[in-house]
């Protein structure tokens, strides 16, 4: 009876962790892309 309960707890804990990691990765990815676009726009404006 102990193992199924611990598996259920670990499942409930790991799923949100993975989801949070994916969300953070997406936010960082978008942020890097936006910064990259802004850098290029500034470079184009200078020339």
pLDDT score, position 29: 96
Structurally, how many domains does the chain consist of?
1
pLDDT tens, per residue, the chain with 47 residues: 567 888 888 888 898 999 999 999 999 999 999 999 999 888 777 66
**Could you please report the per-residue DSSP string of 1-47?**
-HHHHHHHHHHHHHHHHHHHHHHHHHHHHHHHHHHHHHHHHHHHHH-
pLDDT score, position 5: 86
Q: Which two tokens stand for residue 13?
A: 């804990």
pLDDT score, position 20: 93
Query: CA quadruple 23, 25, 27, 30: dihedral positive or negative?
Result: negative
pLDDT score, position 3: 76
Q: 9: domain range?
A: 4-45
- Within 10 A of 42 (CB to CB), how many other CB atoms are there? 9
pLDDT score, position 37: 93
């Amino acid at each position: 009876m102990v193992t199924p309960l611990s598996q259920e707890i670990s499942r409930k804990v790991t799923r949100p962790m993975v989801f949070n990691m994916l969300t953070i990765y997406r936010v960082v990815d978008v942020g890097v892309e936006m910064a990259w676009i802004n850098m290029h726009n500034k470079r184009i404006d200078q020339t």
